């Protein structure tokens, strides 16, 4: 029941009464629970709340009142997105026990369409990682569904892993700051869609870096991910960076062979097998192509991104001090001593590293040299993208320079080497461009993803191209 069905097919069957929402919800909750001891995709499984919601949706279908786009569709949600009454920790010990009093706008919209929230998925602490190995203190590291010796990718690793593992109809709401949707989608072999910055409201998102964070969708197919985007996108007065936009029917887009720009530098820096599979996928597509060079993004993207993101993160994380929510300690010492104690006990290593890096980059005497310089560099990097989009519709490059690495290999990497792995995803994220990772091949047990990037608010073109790639690689 519900196995192998796309969201659209599932919804049709649910509306006809051929699938029981309650039974389907029970089935996917059981799968989430049973697989969690081995794969660790969920930081929390919301059994009780999900079944309650499923009962309500089922009743509304029986009485013909349900007009939603996602009745009974199970959604998992990255831990950094607030769900009312459900512990939401962004993968960090410092948010232990925090139960939001409200739903994030994306959750409110998904629920209004009848979606069922089944749980909070594993992530690197606050999104600080490429492999989902930088989890908070006391959290488990998720394992790749294709090979448990390998990582899921990060930071939305639990979302990607469970989307790939389950055969039941399911999609996930993820979040990307520097590639946290595309990377795990690529490593787990699912579709990861990151919209234009501002397309989807960030209200209710536990921030990593405000000028970079984007909530997006993950699904088994481009159509599933596009449909979920359609539900969660739209202007929201609660988010001052939210964009005024027309309502788009992303789920009704047809595949189209647009002009594809092959990003020279991003291909050059990838492992040969990854490069080969991505080139093959583009060939199979049979679209018009042109080589595009993005030398500045390739050379300076990582540095600018990490300076900006850690600067913003270090200010965002200043709010965690053990007073109003999350981790508390015994009230001892003066405020400095108390705050320092809570923060030192609550953050894991990578969070501390990024807070230090960001605090340094913003400090008097260093601010102009690092933070401001990076913001100015960003202007040039965005311009380089804009010039590219005057020549082609969509840019293509491997999502990640490698396939999902083993945990053993990851342990040998220094933080800087880990940051360098974000080479292909960081430019689009820094520039706020919509991008999507589509699985195109398997390299042994490890999936390979092709990333397609479009200009600001050109999600339609991106989805057209992604549908064409998906169908060419079937």
Partner 1 sequence: MPEKNKKVDKELLLRVAANARLNLTGAEAEEFLPQLQETLEAFSKLDELDAAKEQPSFQPIKLTNVMRQDNVEKCLSQEQALRNTKHRKNGYFLGPRVV
**Binding to partner 1, residues 91-120 (CB under 8 A):** 97-99, 101
Shortest distance (Å) from residue 453 CB to partner 1:
13
Chain residues 228-267 in contact with partner 1, contact rule CB under 8 A: 237, 240-241, 243
If one asks whether residue 356 binds partner 1 (CB under 8 A), the answer comes out as: yes
**Do residues 389 and 294 make contact, with C-beta atoms less than 8 angstroms apart?**
no
Q: Which of 335, 387, 391, 445 binds partner 1 (CB under 8 A)?
A: 335
Q: What's the angle, vertex CA 95, arms to CA 181 and CA 149, rounded to 5? A: 45
DSSP label at residue 233: B
From CA 395, how far away is CA 297, in angstroms rounded?
13
From CA 422, how far away is CA 468, in angstroms rounded?
26
* Catalytic, out of 76, 78, 92, 93: 78
Residue 163: enclosing H or E segment and its boundaries? helix 157-165
Shortest distance (Å) from residue 192 CB to partner 1:
19
**According to the 3-state scheme, what is the secondary structure of 168-232?**
ECCEEEEEECCCCCHHHHHHHCCEEEECCCCCECCCCECCCCCCCCEEEEEECCHHHHHHHHHHH
Given the complex with partner 1, which of 352 and 460 has the nearer CB atom?
Answer: 352
Shortest distance (Å) from residue 95 CB to partner 1:
10
Q: What is the largest CA-CA distance in the chain?
A: 68
Shortest distance (Å) from residue 104 CB to partner 1:
15
* Beta strands 191-194; 116-121: pairing state: unpaired
**Which residues, in sequence order, are bridge partners of residue 395?**
261, 453
Q: Which of 10, 267, 306, 389 binds partner 1 (CB under 8 A)?
A: 306
From CA 227, how far away is CA 233, in angstroms rounded?
10
Shortest distance (Å) from residue 402 CB to partner 1:
19
From CA 86, how far away is CA 119, in angstroms rounded?
8
Query: Which residues in 412-437 are b (16+ Cβ under 10 Å) and which e?
Result: ebeeeebbbbbbbbbbbbbbbbbbbb
If one asks whether residue 75 binds partner 1 (CB under 8 A), the answer comes out as: no
Q: Which of 328, 406, 413, 473 binds partner 1 (CB under 8 A)?
A: 328
Given the complex with partner 1, which of 6 and 211 has the nearer CB atom?
Answer: 211
The alpha carbon dihedral of 366, 177, 158, 397 has a sign of negative
If one asks whether residue 386 binds partner 1 (CB under 8 A), the answer comes out as: no
If one asks whether residue 196 binds partner 1 (CB under 8 A), the answer comes out as: yes
Residue 216, both tokens: 């997006």
Is-catalytic flag, 20? no
Is-catalytic flag, 88? no
Shortest distance (Å) from residue 252 CB to partner 1:
25
Is-catalytic flag, 37? no
Q: How far apart are the first and last CA of the chain?
A: 24
Rg (CA), the chain: 21
Q: Which of 435, 25, 392 is nearest to 222 (CA)?
A: 435
Q: Which of 171, 183, 430, 450 binds partner 1 (CB under 8 A)?
A: 430
If one asks whether residue 198 binds partner 1 (CB under 8 A), the answer comes out as: yes
Size of the residue set binding partner 1 (CB under 8 A): 76
Shortest distance (Å) from residue 48 CB to partner 1:
19
Q: Which of 369, 391, 445, 471 binds partner 1 (CB under 8 A)?
A: 369
Given the complex with partner 1, which of 98 and 267 has the nearer CB atom?
Answer: 98
Shortest distance (Å) from residue 254 CB to partner 1:
27
* Catalytic, out of 76, 122, 155, 437: 155
Nearest 10 degrees: Cα torsion 393, 218, 404, 266: 20
Chain residues 10-49 in contact with partner 1, contact rule CB under 8 A: none
If one asks whether residue 339 binds partner 1 (CB under 8 A), the answer comes out as: yes
Residue 393, both tokens: 């519709």
Q: Which of 10, 267, 370, 389 binds partner 1 (CB under 8 A)?
A: 370
Interface region with partner 1, contact rule CB under 8 A, candidates 23-31, 73-81, 278-286, 292-300: 292-300
Could you check whether the bond before residue 155 is cis, i.e. omega within 30 degrees of 0?
yes
If one asks whether residue 187 binds partner 1 (CB under 8 A), the answer comes out as: no
Q: Which of 331, 390, 408, 412 binds partner 1 (CB under 8 A)?
A: 331
**Contact letters for partner 1, residues 132-171 (x by CB under 8 A):** ----------------------------------------
Cα distances (Å, whole numbers) of residue 284 to 66, 89, 280: 41, 43, 6
If one asks whether residue 432 binds partner 1 (CB under 8 A), the answer comes out as: yes
Residues carrying an active site annotation:
78, 155, 180
């Amino acid at each position: 029941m519900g196995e192998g069905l796309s969201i659209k097919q599932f919804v049709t069957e649910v509306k006809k009464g051929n699938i029981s929402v309650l039974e389907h919800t029970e089935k996917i909750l059981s799968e989430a629970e049973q697989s969690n001891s081995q794969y660790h995709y969920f930081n929390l499984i919301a059994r009780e709340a999900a079944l309650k919601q499923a009962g309500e949706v089922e009743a509304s279908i029986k009485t013909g009142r349900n007009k939603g786009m996602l009745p009974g569709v199970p959604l998992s949600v990255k831990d950094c997105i607030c769900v009312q009454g459900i512990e939401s920790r962004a993968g960090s010990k410092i948010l232990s026990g925090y139960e939001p009093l409200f739903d994030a706008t994306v959750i409110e919209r998904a629920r209004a369409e009848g979606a069922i929230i089944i749980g909070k998925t594993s992530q690197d602490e606050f999104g600080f990682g490429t492999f989902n190995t930088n989890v908070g203190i006391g959290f488990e590291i998720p394992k790749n569904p294709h090979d448990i010796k390998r990582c899921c990718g990060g930071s939305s690793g639990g979302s990607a892993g469970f989307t790939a593992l389950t055969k039941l109809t399911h999609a996930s709401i993820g979040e990307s700051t520097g590639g946290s949707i595309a990377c795990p989608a690529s490593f787990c072999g699912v579709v990861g869609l990151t919209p234009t910055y501002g397309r989807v409201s960030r209200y209710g998102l536990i921030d990593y870096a405000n000028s970079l964070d984007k909530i997006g969708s993950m699904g088994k197919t481009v159509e599933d991910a596009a449909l979920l985007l359609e539900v969660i996108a739209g202007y929201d007065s609660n988010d001052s960076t939210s964009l005024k936009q027309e309502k788009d029917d992303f789920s009704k887009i047809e595949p189209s062979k647009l002009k594809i720009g092959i990003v020279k530098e991003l291909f050059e820096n990838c492992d040969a097998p990854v490069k080969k599979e991505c080139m093959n996928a583009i060939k199979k597509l049979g679209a018009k192509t042109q080589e595009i060079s993005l030398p500045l993004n390739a050379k300076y993207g990582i540095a600018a991104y990490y300076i900006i993101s850690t600067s913003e993160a270090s200010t965002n994380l200043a709010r965690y001090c053990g007073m109003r929510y999350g981790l508390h300690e015994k009230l001892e010492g003066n405020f400095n001593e108390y705050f320092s104690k809570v923060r030192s006990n609550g953050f894991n290593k990578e969070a501390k590293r990024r807070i230090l890096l960001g605090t340094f980059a913003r400090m008097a005497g260093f601010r102009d040299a690092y933070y401001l310089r990076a913001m100015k560099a960003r202007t040039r990097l965005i311009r380089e993208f804009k010039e590219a989009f005057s020549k082609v519709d969509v840019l293509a490059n491997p999502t990640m320079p490698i396939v999902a690495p083993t945990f053993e290999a990851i342990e040998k990497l220094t933080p800087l080497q880990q940051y360098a792995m974000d080479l292909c995803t960081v430019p689009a994220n820094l520039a706020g461009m919509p991008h999507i990772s589509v699985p195109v091949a398997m390299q042994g047990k490890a999936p390979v993803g092709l990333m397609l990037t479009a200009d600001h608010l050109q999600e339609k073109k991106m989805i057209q191209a992604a549908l064409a790639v998906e169908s060419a690689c079937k």
